[in-house]
Structures are given as C-alpha cells and as structure tokens.
Amino acid sequence: MIELHQNNELSYEKNQYADANPFINASVSDMPLVTYEEICHLLPRPIFDGHEDYIACYDFAWRIAFKNTLKPEPESGFVSNFIDTAFNGCLFMWDSSFILMFTKYATRLFPFQNTLDNFYAKQHKDGFICREIRESNGRDRFARHDPSSTGPNVMPWCEKNYFDIFGDTERLGKIYAPLRAYHIWLRKNRTWRDGSYYSSGWGCGMDNSPRMEPAYNPRFSHGHMIWIDACCQQILSANILIEMNHVLGGKDDVSDLMEERDRLTKLVNEKLWDEATGFYYDLLKDDSFSGVKHIGAYWALLAGVVPPDRVERFVAHLTNTSEFNRPNTIPTLSADHPEYNRKDGGYWRGGVWAPTNYMTLCGLTKYGQDELAYRIADTYVENVVSNFGKTGTLWENYAPESDEKGNPARPDFVGWTGLAPISIFFEYVLGIRADVPTKTILWDVHKTERHGIRQYPMGRDITLDLVCEARNSPEDEPVITAVSNTPVKIVVRWMGKEKTLYSKLPI
C-alpha cells in the first residue's frame, strides 16, 4: 500500500510498526537539566590505587558530558533532553548510540538514554530514520534514498546495552515498534537481490576507510559491494528484536526476523569468509573479496555469526603485530594495508576509535575471549590516559603507533571517546560487568592494585560498593568486599579460577 505523506511531497510505503511508534507527536519532556557540579558526588566512583591519572580522566569525561546536555529547540520536533554529539550542531545516530553506552552509568541522574527518543520521534511513515538530524529545526540532513542517509543500525544494540544493566522493560515496550520499523526499512531499501546489505563510508560511519575500488567515492558510494559490517549489524538487530519480543511476551510474529537472521548468517559465512586468510571481507561487484582487513569485520563477533572452528583464526588477526596488534590498539585498518597511516591513523585508515574498540571488546566477550579483551582494553585506556596527562583533554580518535591524538581529531570529544575512561575502564580494565536479568555481577580480576567501584548502579534501585584489596601477584585469590542495599550474586574470576559470593547489606 502506498500512502501520501502529509506534506504532499513524498509518498511512503505503509509500515505498521512506524504507525505504532509512540514517540511521534509525543509531548516534550520538561525535565530540567543538571550540572556536573550538582551531581558529581552521586556518580559511580572508581577505585584504582596509585593511578590518580585514570580517576582524573574519568572525572573530566563526565564533566564534559554534562556540559553537552541540551534541551530541545521548540522548532526541532525533538521530545526529550539529550546529550549533544559535540560535532556540528546535529544529532548523529551512531555517535549518540555509543555515547549512551557510557552515560548509562549516570542514568539515575539524567535520562541520557532518551536521547534516542528524538530519533524515534523523527521516524518517517515508512520506517526511515535519518542518521543525522539538525538540532535547531529537526530536519533530516539527507534524503532517505541517498546511500549515506542512514546507518549504521546500532540503536537496537544500544538499547540492549542499557537494558542489560537496568532491566527497564517499560522502555523496551516503547522502543520496539520504531526499531522494528527501521529494521524493515533497511531490509527493503539497503539490500541487493540476494538479501545482503550495503552502505557507504558515511553510512557505515568509517568515512574514508579504503575498502572499495578506487573508481568509487569512499564516503558517498556503496561501491556495488556487499558490506560485511552492514550485514552483521542487521543480524545483530534481528537477534535483539527477537529477544525484545520474547521479553515483552512474544506477541509479535518475528518469523521474518528469524528467517533473515538465518539466511544472512549463511550468506556471510559462505560468501564473505576467506578460508585462505581466515578473515571476513566485503565482496566486490565481481564477487571477489576486497582483500581489505578493516575493523568493521569484527561486527561478526558481536552478531554471533562466527562458527567455533573459525574463531581462533579470525581473532588471531587482533594479536598479529603486522596487522591489528599495534602499540595502540585497535587500529581501524590492518597495518599491512598500503594505505595504513602509521603517523596519525589518517582518520579511518588506522586511527584508533572508541566505538569500534568497544564493539570489538564486546564481541570478544561474547566468544569468551576475555583475556584478549582485557589486554586490548588495558593498552588502549592506558594510551588515552597517558595522552590526557599531556594534553588535558580527550580526542575524537588516536594514533595507532603511539599515545598521540589522531588526525583529524577534535579535543574535548565526549562524544563517544567517553567510552574509554568510563565503560571500557569499568568493564574491561577493572573487569566489572552487570547482568540485571540474572541479578549478577561478573568480576574479572586482573589488577593487583586495590581497585573497584563505589556507588555502582544496577537496575532501578540497587547500588553497590565493590572493592578488591591489593594482592602480591595475579595468582593470589582476590579478597572482595561487596556491600549493597539488596543482596547480589558476584562471580569472581582470576587466572582461570572462579568463586561466587554475595554482597552484604550495609551495617
């Protein structure tokens, strides 16, 4: 069915899920903004004895994050206060999604997650959501059939990331329809005949990555390629939407998502995997591999498409010093590529970026590669903190061969670089991750210094103080003090060993 848009300029194919989107024409939130100074004493407080520079970098990230909170302009059509992308006066889809993956730790102080409500509120009748929306007037920056108009589809993962730590089923019930509508739009408008997906440099977020043939513009063209990251992101989206539907009672028919997930997984493993090199590649228009090893391939881990017998070879590229294992991890382009920029990363030609690092770390976690995830995160955060000590700021991206900033790179970029001193620091360096549905804290203890987190938020009401005492060696059993207002199961792992304990009520 085709129906006419209300402005009589655009025709849209009907999308039942877009029709059910509760954010369209919703009332605007009148919640006041808060300042860092007002709430800083209520934030989670990391403990890392002897590393005051890490704590200073952490505090700086929050200070800038709260400085970037805004109220919607009256003409924008936005429905909620939000955190600015801090780039060009526009709200960016994938920037916002990654920003919210560290601001989740301050959700009780400011509704950062509602930033995405503004994208849902601007959804078109056919399900399209523009990837970049002007904050002043709420207008899309791209026409919906421009290859660079939208993507990457990471909002479902962002919402799941939030749900895993807060278990907010009420929000799940609101966001399901717009996310489902957007997934359907992508399926209808971003696929080739075989159901595989495409994007562009801007659409995938890695602007100038040299992943397509020279005849095509790397920023604006789809290059007639099958894009490995776009395919895996849709598999991930389908899996998350299926899980959301289950949590919400299983009332929606998700057979189309299950069919697409299975078909795409088969396609990725049959068409995009190169057995000779043990890597997933984009596929060129002549059905040959692009041969470009870029970080986008590691969406395959997060999407769960890598078969067990391929994991070791695929992950090995991250430990190879001729490829992705550089002094600063992880470069977005393999070091053996002729366009790899050793000096400053050349933006997405070797630059080290917080969002792609966090994505890869979470993918490694999914496959039980916890030790490697820790080593990558420890190196990366150490470099970010080292640079902060020299420059007093956080940058948009970093060089791959040193602790220097990338090029181009913007200062005070919080922005998604807040992931490094907050989420990656918490979840991988300190090793503390929450799973609200099972009411469990998983703590991978690597550090021998006294470390932990006070005022750690879990769910709507649980707050924990988690402290591991100093140890003489990594082999020593961790001595944990865990205090919370409700008993929580804590699984502690170290050097291949594991123990379970429960937090105690405060005295």
Res. 11 pLDDT band, cuts 50 70 90: confident
Residue 98 covered by a domain:
no
Name the nearest CA neighbour of 190 among 237, 158, 156, 157. 237
Q: Per-residue pLDDT for 184 more than 60?
A: yes
Average pLDDT estimate for 254-273:
98
pLDDT digits over 36-82, tens only?
999 999 999 999 999 999 999 999 999 999 999 999 999 999 999 99
Question: In the prediction, which pLDDT does 87 show?
Answer: 83
346 sits in which H/E element: none
Q: Are residues 391 and 463 in the same domain?
A: no
Q: Are residues 397 and 452 in the same domain?
A: no
What is the bridge-based pairing of β-strands 440-444 and 489-494? parallel
Could you give the percent of the chain with pLDDT greater than 70? 98
Residue 374 covered by a domain:
yes
Of the candidate ranges 1-5, 190-194, 275-279, the one whose mean pLDDT is the lowest: 1-5
- Write the single-letter amino acid at 28: V
Q: Per-residue pLDDT for 8 more than 70?
A: no
Name the nearest CA neighbour of 502 among 489, 484, 492. 489
Dihedral pair phi/psi, residue 280, rounded to 5°: -95, 130
What is the residue range of 413's domain? 34-70+328-429
Residue 484 covered by a domain:
yes
Last residue within a domain, chosen from 371, 404, 429? 429
Question: In the prediction, which pLDDT does 30 show?
Answer: 81
Average pLDDT estimate for 425-439:
94
Average pLDDT estimate for 463-483:
98
- Write the single-letter amino acid at 492: V
What is the bridge-based pairing of β-strands 279-280 and 273-274? antiparallel
Q: Is the pTM of this model over 0.95?
A: yes
Name the nearest CA neighbour of 361 among 344, 343, 378. 378
Q: Are residues 402 and 338 in the same domain?
A: yes
Question: In the prediction, which pLDDT does 506 show?
Answer: 85
Ranges assigned E (strand) in 239-334: 273-274, 279-280
Question: In the prediction, which pLDDT does 237 show?
Answer: 98
Q: Are residues 449 and 419 in the same domain?
A: no
Q: Are residues 409 and 471 in the same domain?
A: no
243 sits in which H/E element: helix 228-247
Name the nearest CA neighbour of 362 among 436, 293, 439, 300. 300
Question: In the prediction, which pLDDT does 371 show?
Answer: 97
Q: Are residues 419 and 475 in the same domain?
A: no
Question: In the prediction, which pLDDT does 10 show?
Answer: 61
pLDDT digits over 82-123, tens only?
999 988 899 999 999 999 999 999 999 999 999 999 999 999
Last residue within a domain, chosen from 380, 413, 429? 429
Q: Are residues 347 and 362 in the same domain?
A: yes
Q: Are residues 344 and 363 in the same domain?
A: yes
Ranges assigned E (strand) in 105-145: 132-134
Q: Are residues 448 and 422 in the same domain?
A: no
What is the sign, positive or negative, of the torsion defined by CA atoms of 216, 219, 223, 224?
A: negative
Last residue within a domain, chosen from 382, 406, 429? 429
Residues in contact with 376: Cβ distance below 8 Å, sequence separation at least 6, in sequence order: 318, 329, 330, 357, 360, 361, 364, 428
Q: Are residues 407 and 462 in the same domain?
A: no
Q: Are residues 443 and 497 in the same domain?
A: yes
Residue 350 covered by a domain:
yes
pLDDT digits over 143-181, tens only?
999 999 999 999 999 999 999 999 999 999 999 999 999
Question: In the prediction, which pLDDT does 507 show?
Answer: 67
| 217 φ/ψ sector (left φ>0, alpha ψ -120 to 50, else beta) | beta
Record the tokens describing residue 105, joined without a space: 């730790």
Q: Per-residue pLDDT for 363 more than 90?
A: yes
Residue 184 covered by a domain:
no
Of the candidate ranges 8-22, 39-53, 122-136, 182-196, the one whose mean pLDDT is the lowest: 8-22
Residues in contact with 448: Cβ distance below 8 Å, sequence separation at least 6, in sequence order: 470, 471, 472, 473, 474, 476
Could you give the percent of the chain with pLDDT greater than 90? 93
Residue 249 covered by a domain:
no
Q: How many domains does the chain have?
A: 2
Residue 483 covered by a domain:
yes
Question: In the prediction, which pLDDT does 331 show?
Answer: 98
pLDDT digits over 314-359, tens only?
999 999 999 999 999 999 999 999 999 999 999 999 999 999 999 9
Residue 55 covered by a domain:
yes
Q: Are residues 447 and 502 in the same domain?
A: yes
Question: In the prediction, which pLDDT does 437 show?
Answer: 84
Name the nearest CA neighbour of 384 among 362, 360, 416, 361. 416
Average pLDDT estimate for 353-375:
98
